[in-house]
Amino acid sequence: MTDATAAESHRGAFSSRKVFILAAVGSAVGLGNIWRFPYVAYENGGGAFVLPYLVALLTAGIPFLLLDYALGHRGRGSAPLSFARTDRRTEWIGWWQVGICFVIAVYYAAVIAWAVRYTGFSLGKVWGDAPEEFLFGSFLQAGDPGVSLDLVPGVLVPLALVWAAVLAVMVLGVQKGIGATAVVFIPVLVLAFGALVVRALFLPGAGAGLDALFSPDWAALGHASVWAAAFGQIFFSLSVGFGIMITYSSYVSRRTDMTGSGLVVGFANSGFELLAGIGVFAALGFMAQANGVPVDEVASDGLGLAFVAFPAIINEAPAGGLIGVLFFGSLVFAGVTSLVSVIEVVISAVRDKLELSRTAATVAVVLPSALVSLVFFGTTSGVYVLDIVDHFVNRYGILLVAVVSMLAVAWLARALRPLSDHLNLTGSVRVGRWWLVLVGALTPAALTVVLVRELATDLGTPYEGYPGWMLGTFGWGVAAAVVLAAVLATLVRWRPRTSLTPPGEDPAPDPTEVAS
Amino acid sequence: MSAGAVVMMVLAMLVLWGGLAAAVWNLTHRSKAPEEHYRRDL
């Protein structure tokens, strides 16, 4: 066994291509697929949105996904190590991604904890006739926007349980923890959500909901905002650009077909979004008919859709409790597989940099993450902090680092050619000059347009009317602090045993593999 | 549902779910590297 293969064996790996794909799909399919895509499609041309969405998937989403795969599969390391092995000057970008993942993990866990509670609430329709008042009053006990350390036991306990589950999964390792979770959770998620869609389609008014979602508004295709929304949705939905796919692709065999796998992951993610759109709008159509209002008066997204609109649907639908368990259970399954992938980016980076054991690195990452999560999101002000951090870290974290990483790899490291050669070594779909153009120019340009539009909005109007000090601290402040922390982490020296040169390109059989 | 909505829904299903089926077929039939199992971290 060579030093390189010994090091890879030490890092852990997925046991097969299928497990890798399920884990990658589990990461990509998250809460946004269920509660963001349907409303974005509805708001941006309905059925006509299919066209820009498909263009964005093929010209930005999948090419960018393949870039992440190439970086991790060739670099055989966490995001910072893979960037460092591509070009030493880009290592800080990997740490930027690690910092973003840490921030996302601490608030994402809170939403999963809410969904866990709401799965149980569904059986007894605990929210009564006023789901919104219940959410912000009895459940979250939210006061005025601000920072409070008043703990909310109803959130704190499930949040602690979520982190305990995450700790257990991550300690088990890449295959037995992450891989096994994906192998179980993804089929369960598809079955549960599929059952929800079937139930929703048989509700009275479902047709009106689907009509609202799919009726094409062709004039919308002439609006730049619609195309920006399509690129934004694909980008946020695919889990690209913040280290997850780099990390996961470093855990697969050198002989794995990365381009073929990328196509499966990309279309599986979008296929699930379509399923979510059908289920959500069929249910919203029922709600609209039950209340005698048009669909546009009940259509919503995000927390409002999940924790206000769906409880109202559950109240009125036949077998509403079953719909609730399926819906919130789906959120939990989709959320956990995504949370696990996000926290793995941090664990993997800490392991690589400090050469820690899996258990030591997991404890060193998960316990502080859980503590921060409990302190900030298990309190009466948690929902406001969560809303601000989520908004800003998505735009001035994920979106910005994605643009910077593509430009740095393409124009600073000038590594696109060797990365495309690497993908073509084992890929069933060859990447050629078209990929270089898309990743080096078109995709960063499209995402820059999305970013500039968001920046103009945020500079023009304070987000959701929150106080300036809150936006400065938890919005702009957190986004800037992540960059600063990334630079500081880059200054920490790699251990002498860690090589910063890319491992060989020879996809020869790995001695650790079992002959099939 | 209007005819336009039905057409667009079917089109979206064909493109996205058909694309997934085609991608899976490509991976299982055209991939240069066979599906492999190896014993790391098991």
**Residue numbers in B near A513 (CB within 8 A):** 36-39
A513-514 and B37-38 as β-strands: parallel, antiparallel, unpaired?
A: antiparallel
Residue A379 pairs in a beta bridge with A151
The pLDDT, as a whole number, for residue A180 is 95
CATH number for the domain that contains residue A102: 1.20.1740.10
Q: Would A514 be classed as within a structural domain?
A: no
- State how far residue B7 is from chain A, nearest Cα, in angstroms: 9
Say if the Cβ atoms of A9 and B31 lie within 8 Å: no
Exposed e or buried b per residue across A192-227, where buried means at least 16 C-beta atoms within 10 angstroms of its C-beta: bbebbbebbbebebbbbbbbbbbbbeeebbeeeebb
- Burial label for B26, CB within 10 Å (0-12, 13-18, 19+), is middle
- Closest-CA residue of B relative to A6 is B40
Cβ pair A172, A8 in contact under 8 A: no
| CB proximity A170 to B under 8 Å | no
Closest-CA residue to A38 (of A274, A215, A328): A274
The pLDDT, as a whole number, for residue A146 is 81
**Residue numbers in B near A221 (CB within 8 A):** none
The pLDDT, as a whole number, for residue A303 is 86
The pLDDT, as a whole number, for residue A231 is 87
* Residue B37 confidence class, pLDDT cut points 50, 70, 90: low
Torsion over CA of A45, A51, A53 and A55, rounded to 10 degrees?
A: -150
| CB proximity A427 to B under 8 Å | yes
Q: Would A510 be classed as within a structural domain?
A: no
**Residue numbers in B near A516 (CB within 8 A):** 34-37
Q: Would A505 be classed as within a structural domain?
A: no
Predicted TM-score (pTM) of this structure: 0.91
Q: Would A511 be classed as within a structural domain?
A: no
Q: Would A295 be classed as within a structural domain?
A: yes
The pLDDT, as a whole number, for residue A514 is 38
The pLDDT, as a whole number, for residue A2 is 56
Average pLDDT of adjacent 10-residue blocks, chain A of 516 residues: 59 90 95 87 89 92 95 95 95 96 95 95 92 92 85 95 97 94 95 92 93 92 86 87 94 92 96 93 92 89 87 90 94 95 97 94 97 94 91 88 95 96 93 94 90 89 91 95 97 90 60 38
Cβ pair A41, A52 in contact under 8 A: no
| CB proximity A253 to B under 8 Å | yes
Domain range for A209 is 3-489
- Closest-CA residue of A relative to B29 is A428
* Residue B36 confidence class, pLDDT cut points 50, 70, 90: low
Q: Would A501 be classed as within a structural domain?
A: no
**Residue numbers in A near B15 (CB within 8 A):** 50, 54
- Closest-CA residue of A relative to B22 is A264
* Dist. CA A294–CA A208, nearest whole Å: 9
* Dist. CA A512–CA A261, nearest whole Å: 22
Amino acid (1-letter code) at residue A351:
R
Q: Would A494 be classed as within a structural domain?
A: no
For chain A, how many structural domains are there in total?
1
Q: Would A508 be classed as within a structural domain?
A: no
| CB interface of A with B, residues 451-510, below 8 Å | 507, 510
Say if the Cβ atoms of B16 and A266 lie within 8 Å: no
Closest-CA residue to A86 (of A415, A410, A403): A415
